């Protein structure tokens, strides 16, 4: 059998070789290999790395594995006495479940072709003995997760384990690269490449806005800021999805996220389809929607709930029932986002705003997993602004817009973890590790000095005060290499490695209502819930979880005990606000829609009429303008702005504005931020202060607020403390918590807040504080976005001083009072608590 | 006595009349007794940060001793007490004093100079470092008040203790605030932990249940620059 040729999409002939068993297998099934599958094969056979971008249902998995399967089919499986080679192919997926799923999918063609290839999975669920055996007798294809890769490269025999590695396949690469997991994996890949410089990579990705970022990620970057890209294969098209916005006869609320108004409509849609996936943005939204659907479930349709906090066994049951097509609907959060195959889904319903055109496209891709048939999807906006956002997303999807976020620079806490992991495997040379690090795309621009700081941090904490020399974790030896000082450090590393920092979670155990003070009977575990949430409750409070209303009975060790409150209404709402910010692209579309009545014809009459009234009573800003409205209400004065930049950016803006207003003598009391707007209130007439020139708007919104004001506020922000905790844990300063294995006794640990305070006042330039600020500026506070907005609105601010609240302001005014007061709120609450005593005494 | 009254204008915080003695509970977490010119500080846990490096190669910022002394020093300089009682767990572990950098050792000596300094033994430092000077004892009686590290289970009138690192949590308007605190039922007073790296134990924890008469409980929660006296009934778990 000789080589064949394929014309690549860049022109030119590509030779490839598809062995006879494969040709027969395709033919026997009545298929033909698709061009992109052959191109990936040809590129791999030519020693090239390739990014494949394709919509769901395009046969991505087979395309990714075809090169390895064909190569391995020609090899004889080593006999029991022969020396085993290391692994041939490494497949890495962001989800454990996906690795398991892929194994099932590959075993079928392998069996049908009679190939002798062994495939194994290795995840956190794999037993220790099996993992040990895999190191001694490696399978030819290993399916695993980023965390396992980090563990493998930190082991002493990493070199021989990877020595025979030919191909690394990254599945769902677009989702891997946007997080710290992806950064650690990029460093891991650089490490593996140092063992096996000739290895080829294959990236499988959904459509992204900047494929070049992923192409860089897949190959070693040369020094001196040059850029190398992998090969690129893209498949466009698939049938256009049929998306529409749910029509409801009920009134669409001004604000809120539950979409209760549309439950009967959603239920009707479920009844009219075979299997429906109902996507929501947060866990608590999932709980509310699930409950509401069952309250109208007259036909008792099998409708299930699926989110990451539920007990694993329960999730598996739902997944299996789904695969057997026994369910009519599943209400799910993003746990189902990624490429797992789900039976016969013929409708996707998205409750709440999709927050990004790309996210929406992917979720919709869950329905009808075949490329040539259109997916069907219904959007259910929960409030009026969301109606506009949904319509904008819908327009975006039709034009195929992509708005995945730009990749971040590699984080320093992740680098610190990787350096220690490298040392756990064996001694390393500083120069070589620096070169290796900068060959990973996220760290290509890392300068030597910063690398040095990270190294010092790992060795002795990297403090200005050098007192930990004698306790160093790694030390430079006489031959110039860095070595681990004690084997127990490697053991601890293995316990703590990884970048997924979960909020401390408590098991939720169902028990009977209990009048006694202590001693709860053990009960079934319903799932896990954030410790912080439970701590804000008192025994007796009710909340929603696992589709039930539960009453908190008490907390003991790592469990919280709850009893069934039967279907009473929960007292504690658990919605924590939008999880994802609206993407810049979508925000732009929403602003454009607001400005142009010509685009309103697709909006429901309730919404377009609302906008008409706004136009009459106040004004609708043009798409590059920022509208500021001021008006009195009750005994306060309000200022409302509509930047549409997402909650994170607005919250930062709110903090900075209140500081400025305070300095201008406007006595602001507080503010509230939503995804769309921001409202500030206080004692003085803001509008008059602006009109008289006492407080010019241009100064209030000047870009310089991102300078000193931001720094001053940042340092005290609780958001930064939370970010610090994550960075400190990833960097190995704080050890992860292991529920059940924790030593009891409060003095065994130091709270990260205390560490943060001490570090900030005594070593403000410490590398962990640098890492914390960098991360917060990007994510939590969205400073980048705020900066872009301030630049955009310069000279484009319009002000309306109104006598009454405007129609557009109604939604955010309904949020006032639900948010914590800014600044010294804690002191105010304490003063109040103390004051209530004095009042009693005086009486 | 006139001196003592003059000082009271310098001191912030809450006044508390404890078994007939006027005490000041100060926002930094110290207690001052003007009549005796006595300052009390509890649970300094000096060199807690470096204990993690010594035992587990975990590199906490090595500045906690500095931060703790920097908070304590101005109080001593301002009030010029005749006696300072460090109420136990002054050092985080037996080797803490050996790890104490010279600079801080000297700073500590300067603070001790010209006054009586009493080290009460704690469970973390059952044998405090003799080389630092001062008086070492298990407990100390001054007037009708008794200073000891670990509160006695058996009821003891007029006891001032530390050890438990009390903190209190209140809920108002759906928000919770948790702060270090002084706590007393009028018979016994427990001091907050002063050290920069010391955590807190909620006064609703079982550890307190045998020590206080719940009905009479008052807490003094420590805010930014003030101490807030709050009825124990408002405190939640």
Q: Is B102 in the A-facing interface, judged by CB distances under 8 Å? A: no
Chain A residue with Cα closest to B219: A834
Q: How far is A449 from chain B (nearest CA, A)?
A: 21
pLDDT at A264 over 90: yes
Q: Does position A760 have pLDDT exceeding 60, yes or no?
A: yes
Integer Cα distance of B58 and A468 in angstroms: 10
Nearest to A463 among B57, B62, B230 (CB): B62
Contacts of A463 in chain B (CB under 8 A): 59, 61-63
Q: What six digits make up the tokens of A512?
A: 């009977």
A460 lies within 8 A of chain B by CB:
yes
Residues of B in Cβ contact (< 8 Å) with A751: 199
Better-predicted residue by pLDDT, A720 or A613? A613
Q: Which of B45, B57, B173 has its CB closest to that of A829?
A: B173
- Measured distance CA(A671)–CA(A738) in Å, rounded: 38
Residue B82 C-alpha, separation from nearest chain A C-alpha, in angstroms:
30
CA torsion angle A515 A517 A522 A527 (round to 10): 90
pLDDT, residue A822, reads: 41
8 A C-beta contact, residue B154 and residue B189: no
Distance from CA of A733 to the nearest CA of B (A): 6
Q: Check: CB of residue B44 under 8 Å from CB of residue B194.
A: yes
Read off the pLDDT of each residue in A781-799 and give the average, rounded to a whole number.
84
Residue B3 C-alpha, separation from nearest chain A C-alpha, in angstroms: 30
Residue A577 has a pLDDT of: 38
pLDDT tier at A283 (50, 70, 90 boundaries)? confident
Q: Is A210 within 8 Å of chain B by CB?
A: no
Instruction: Please give the radius of gyration of chain B, using alpha carbons only, rounded to the nearest integer.
Output: 17
Percent of chain A with pLDDT over 70: 83
- Measured in angstroms, the CA of A830 and the nearest CA of chain B are apart by 7
A843 by Cβ neighbours in 10 Å (0-12 / 13-18 / 19+) ranks as exposed
- Tell me if B165 and A461 make a contact (CB, 8 A cut-off): no
Chain B residues touching residue A460 (CB < 8 angstroms): 59
pLDDT score recorded for residue B160: 97
- Note whether B15 contacts A: Cβ–Cβ < 8 A: no
What the block records as the tokens of A820 is 């914590």
pLDDT tens readout for residues A648-704: 788 888 888 888 888 888 888 778 888 889 999 888 899 999 999 888 888 889 888
Taking the C-alpha atoms of residue A38 and residue B61, their distance in angstroms, rounded to an integer, is 56
The predicted pLDDT at position A397 comes to: 60
Minimum distance, in Å, between the CA of residue B93 and any CA atom of chain A = 11
The whole-angstrom distance between A497's CA and the closest CA on chain B is 15
Q: What is the pLDDT of residues A135-168, one digit of tens each?
A: 888 999 999 999 999 999 999 989 999 999 999 9
Q: Which residues of A touch B45 (CB under 8 A)?
A: 747
Q: Do residues B7 and B54 touch, judged by C-beta distance below 8 A?
A: no
Q: What is the mean pLDDT of residues A255-274?
A: 89
- B57 vs A473: CB contact, 8 Å cut-off? yes
Give the Å distances, CA to CA, from A619 to A48, A91, A622, A802: 57, 55, 9, 11
Contact assignment for A538 to B196 by CB distance below 8 Å: no
List domains and CATH numbers for chain B.
2-167+187-204 (3.60.21)
DSSP structure string for B175-202: EEEEEEEEEE-SSEEEPPP-STT---EE
pLDDT band at residue A536, thresholds of 50, 70 and 90? low
| pLDDT the model gives residue A820 | 46
Q: Domains in chain A, ordered, with CATH?
A: 4-234 (3.40.50.300), 242-398 (3.40.50.300), 412-500+718-740+747-776 (no CATH), 505-564 (no CATH), 618-717+781-827 (no CATH)
Report the gap between the CA of B109 and the closest CA in chain A (Å). 21
Task: Enter the pTM of the model.
Answer: 0.81
Q: Is A741 on the interface with B (CB under 8 A)?
A: no
Q: Using alpha carbons, list the distances in angstroms from residue A697 to A797, A812, B47.
A: 8, 21, 51
Report CB contact under 8 Å: A755, B61: yes
CB contact B78 to A (< 8 Å): no
Length of chain A equals 843
Q: Is residue A636 very low, low, confident or very high in pLDDT (cuts 50, 70, 90)? A: confident
For residue A567, name the pLDDT band (cuts at 50, 70, 90): low
**A483 CB near a chain B CB, below 8 Å?**
no
Within its chain, how far is the Cα of A270 from the centroid?
A: 28
Please check the confidence at residue A479 and state whether its pLDDT lies above 90.
Answer: yes
Give me the residue from A763, A827, A837 closest to B63, CB to CB.
A763
Q: Which of residues 811-830 of A touch B (CB under 8 A)?
A: 820, 824-827, 829-830
Name the residue among A465, A474, A473 with its Cα closest to residue A765: A465
pLDDT tens-place string over residues A45-67: 999 999 999 876 677 888 999 99
Nearest Cβ partner for A763 among B45, B58, B61? B61
Most B CBs within 10 A among A539, A830, A843, hence the mutation to make, goes to A830
- Min distance A746 CA to chain B CA atoms (Å): 7
Confidence of residue A127 (pLDDT cuts 50, 70, 90): confident
What's residue A521's pLDDT?
65
φ/ψ (deg, to 5) at A26: -55, -50
- Chain A residues lying within 8 Å of B67, measured CB to CB: 758, 761-762
Q: Closest-CA residue in chain B for A729?
A: B58
Nearest C-alpha of chain A: how many angstroms from B231?
Answer: 7
pLDDT for A742 beyond 50: no
pLDDT of residue A564: 86
pLDDT bin (cut points 50, 70, 90) of residue A823 is very low
Q: How confident is the model at residue A532 (pLDDT cuts 50, 70, 90)?
A: low
Strand order through the sheet with A797-801: A668-673, A678-682, A636-641, A626-633, A797-801
Taking only residues 169 to 188 of chain B, the set having a beta carbon closer than 8 angstroms to any beta carbon of chain A reads 170-173, 175-177, 179
CB nearest to B177's CB, from A747, A766, A830:
A830
Residue closest to A411 by CA, chosen among A187, A215, A715, A205: A187
Give me chain A's average pLDDT, please: 83
Q: What is the mean pLDDT of each run of 10 residues along chain B (237 residues)?
A: 52 88 95 96 96 91 96 95 96 91 93 95 85 92 96 86 94 78 95 94 90 92 91 90
Helix (H) or strand (E) holding A437: helix A430-438
Residue B173: predicted pLDDT: 65
Quick check: A495 contacting B, CB < 8 Å?
A: no
A744 interfaces chain B, CB cutoff of 8 Å: no
The pair of structure tokens assigned to A190 is 């650089």
Which residue from B54, B196, B228 is facing A830, i.e. has the nearest CB? B228
A-chain CB neighbours of B230 within 8 Å are 830, 833-834, 837
Of A457, A751, A759, the CB nearest to B199: A751
By Cβ distance, the residue of B61, B170, B221 closest to A759 is: B61
Q: What is the pLDDT of residues A379-393, one digit of tens each?
A: 899 888 889 888 887
pLDDT at A631: 95
Mutation choice for A interface testing from B44, B50, B59, B204 by most A CBs within 10 A? B59
pLDDT tens column, A303-336: 999 887 778 788 778 878 887 888 999 998 765 5
Q: Which of A493, A718, A829 to mutate to test the interface with B (most CBs of B within 10 A)?
A: A829
Q: Which of A88-92, A640-644, A824-828 has the lowest mean pLDDT?
A: A824-828
Q: How many CB atoms lie within 10 A of CB A102?
A: 24
Report pLDDT for B21: 96
- Selected residues 523-542 of chain A with any CB under 8 Å from a CB in chain B: 535-536, 538-539
The interface pTM score, or ipTM, of the predicted complex is 0.90
Rounded mean pLDDT, A450-478: 94
Comparing alpha-carbon positions, the chain B residue that sits nearest to A817 is B173
Task: Please spell the DSSP secondary structure of A241-292, one letter per residue.
Answer: PEEEEPP-SSPPPSS-S--GGGHHHHHHHHHTSS-EEEE-SSHHHHHHHHHH
Mean pLDDT lowest among A18-22, A69-73, A575-579: A575-579
């Amino acid at each position: 059998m000789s080589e064949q040729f394929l014309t690549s999409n860049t022109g030119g002939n590509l030779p490839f070789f598809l062995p006879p068993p494969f040709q027969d297998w395709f033919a026997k099934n009545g298929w033909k290999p698709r061009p992109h599958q052959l191109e990936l094969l040809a590129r791999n056979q030519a020693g090239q790395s390739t990014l494949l971008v394709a919509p769901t249902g395009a046969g991505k998995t087979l395309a990714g594995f075809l090169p390895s399967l064909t190569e391995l089919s020609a090899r004889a499986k080593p006999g029991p006495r022969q020396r085993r080679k290391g692994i041939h192919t490494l497949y890495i997926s962001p989800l454990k479940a996906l690795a398991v799923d892929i194994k099932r999918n590959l075993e079928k063609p392998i069996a049908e072709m009679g190939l002798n290839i062994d495939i194994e999975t290795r995840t956190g669920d794999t037993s220790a003995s099996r993992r040990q055996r895999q190191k001694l007798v490696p399978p030819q294809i290993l399916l695993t997760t980023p965390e396992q890769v980090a563990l493998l490269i930190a082991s002493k025999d990493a070199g021989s384990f990877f020595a025979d590695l030919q191909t690394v396949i990254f599945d769902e690469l677009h989702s891997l690269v946007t997080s710290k997991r992806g950064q650690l994996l990029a460093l891991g890949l650089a490490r593996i490449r140092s063992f096996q410089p000739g290895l080829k990579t294959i990236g499988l990705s959904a459509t992204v806005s900047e494929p070049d970022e992923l192409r860089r990620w897949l190959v070693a970057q040369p020094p001196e800021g040059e850029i190398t890209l992998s090969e690129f294969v893209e498949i466009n098209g698939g049938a256009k999805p049929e998306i529409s916005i749910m029509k409801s006869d009920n009134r669409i609320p001004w604000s809120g996220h539950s979409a209760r108004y549309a439950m009967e409509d959603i239920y009707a849609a479920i009844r009219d389809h075979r299997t429906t996936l109902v996507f929501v943005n947060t866990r608590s939204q999932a709980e509310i929607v699930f409950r509401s659907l069952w309250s109208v479930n007259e036909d008792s349709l099998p409708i299930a709930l699926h989110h990451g906090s539920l007990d694993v066994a329960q999730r598996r049951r739902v997944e299996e029932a789904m695969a057997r097509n026994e369910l009519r609907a599943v209400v799910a959060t993003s746990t189902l986002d990624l490429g797992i195959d789900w039976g016969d889904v013929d409708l996707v319903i998205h409750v709440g705003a999709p927050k990004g055109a790309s996210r929406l496209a992917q979720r919709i891709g869950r329905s009808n997993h075949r490329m040539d048939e259109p997916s069907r999807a219904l959007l259910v906006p929960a409030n009026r602004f969301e109606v506009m956002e949904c319509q904008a997303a819908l327009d975006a999807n039709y034009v195929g817009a992509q708005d995945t976020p730009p990749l971040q620079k590699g984080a320093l806490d992740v680098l610190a973890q990787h350096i220690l992991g490298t040392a756990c495997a064996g001694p390393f040379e500083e120069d070589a590790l620096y070169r290796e690090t900068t060959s990973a795309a996220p760290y290509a621009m890392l300068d030597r000095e910063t690398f040095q700081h990270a190294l010092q941090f790992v060795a002795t904490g990297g403090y200005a005060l050098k007192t930990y020399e004698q306790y160093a974790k790694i030390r430079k030896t006489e031959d110039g290499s860095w070595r681990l000082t004690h084997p127990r450090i490697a053991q601890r590393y293995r316990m703590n490695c990884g970048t997924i920092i979960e909020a401390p979670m408590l098991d939720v155990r169902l028990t009977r209502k209990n009048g006694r003070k202590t001693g709860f009977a053990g009960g079934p575990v319903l799932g896990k819930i954030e410790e912080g949430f439970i701590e804000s409750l008192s025994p007796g409070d009710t909340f929603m979880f696992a589709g039930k209303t539960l009453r908190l009975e008490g907390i003991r060790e790592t469990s919280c005990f709850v009893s069934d409150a039967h279907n009473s209404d929960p007292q504690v709402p658990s919605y924590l606000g939008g999880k994802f910010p609206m993407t810049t692209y979508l925000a732009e579309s929403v602003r454009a829609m607001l400005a142009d009545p010509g685009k309103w014809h697709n909006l429901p009459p309730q919404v377009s009429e609302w906008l008409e009234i706004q136009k009459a009573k106040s004004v609708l800003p043009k798409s590059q303008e920022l509208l500021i409205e001021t008006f009195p209400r009750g005994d306060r004065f309000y200022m409302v702005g509509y930047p549409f930049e997402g909650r994170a950016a607005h919250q930062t803006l709110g903090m900075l504005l209140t500081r400025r207003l305070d300095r201008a003598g406007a006595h602001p009391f507080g503010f509230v931020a939503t995804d769309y707007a921001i409202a500030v209130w206080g004692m003085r007439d803001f509008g008059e202060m602006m009109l008289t020139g006492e407080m010019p708007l241009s100064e209030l919104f000047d870009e310089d607020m991102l300078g000193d004001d931001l720094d001053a506020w940042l340092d005290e922000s609780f958001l930064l403390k939370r970010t610090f905790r994550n960075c400190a844990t990833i960097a190995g300063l704080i050890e992860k918590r292991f529920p059940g294995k924790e030593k009891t006794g409060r003095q065994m640990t130091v709270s990260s807040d205390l560490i943060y305070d001490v570090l900030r006042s005594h070593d403000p330039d410490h590398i962990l504080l640098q890492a914390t600020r960098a991360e917060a500026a990007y994510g939590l506070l969205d400073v980048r976005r705020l900066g872009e907005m301030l630049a955009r609105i310069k000279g484009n601010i319009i002000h309306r001083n109104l006598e009454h609240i405007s129609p557009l302001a109604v939604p955010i005014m309904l949020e006032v009072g639900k948010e914590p007061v800014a600044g010294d709120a804690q002191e105010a609450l304490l003063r109040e608590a103390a004051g209530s005593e004095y009042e009693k005494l005086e009486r | 006595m006139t001196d003592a009254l003059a000082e009271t204008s310098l001191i912030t915080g809450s006044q508390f009349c404890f078994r007939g003695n006027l005490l000041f509970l100060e926002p930094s977490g110290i207690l001052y007794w003007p009549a005796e010119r006595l300052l009390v500080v509890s649970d300094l846990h000096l060199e807690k940060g470096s204990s993690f490096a010594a035992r587990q190669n975990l590199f906490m910022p090595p500045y906690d001793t500095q931060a703790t002394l920097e908070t304590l020093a101005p109080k001593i300089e301002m009030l010029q007490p005749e006696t300072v009682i460090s109420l136990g767990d002054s050092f985080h572990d037996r080797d803490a004093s050996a790890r104490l950098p010279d600079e801080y050792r000297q700073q500590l000596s300067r603070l001790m100079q010209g006054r009586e300094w009493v080290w009460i033994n704690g469970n973390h430092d059952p044998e405090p470092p003799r080389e630092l000077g001062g008086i070492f004892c298990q407990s100390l009686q001054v007037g009708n008040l008794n200073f000891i590290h670990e509160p006695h289970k058996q009821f003891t009138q007029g006891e001032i203790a530390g050890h438990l690192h009390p903190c209190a949590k209140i809920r108002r308007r759906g928000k919770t605030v948790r702060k270090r605190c002084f706590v007393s039922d009028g018979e016994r007073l427990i001091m907050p932990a002063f050290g920069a790296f010391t955590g807190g134990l909620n006064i609703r924890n079982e550890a307190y249940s045998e020590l206080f008469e719940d009905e009479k409980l008052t807490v003094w929660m420590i805010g930014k620059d003030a101490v807030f006296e709050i009825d124990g009934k408002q405190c939640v778990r």
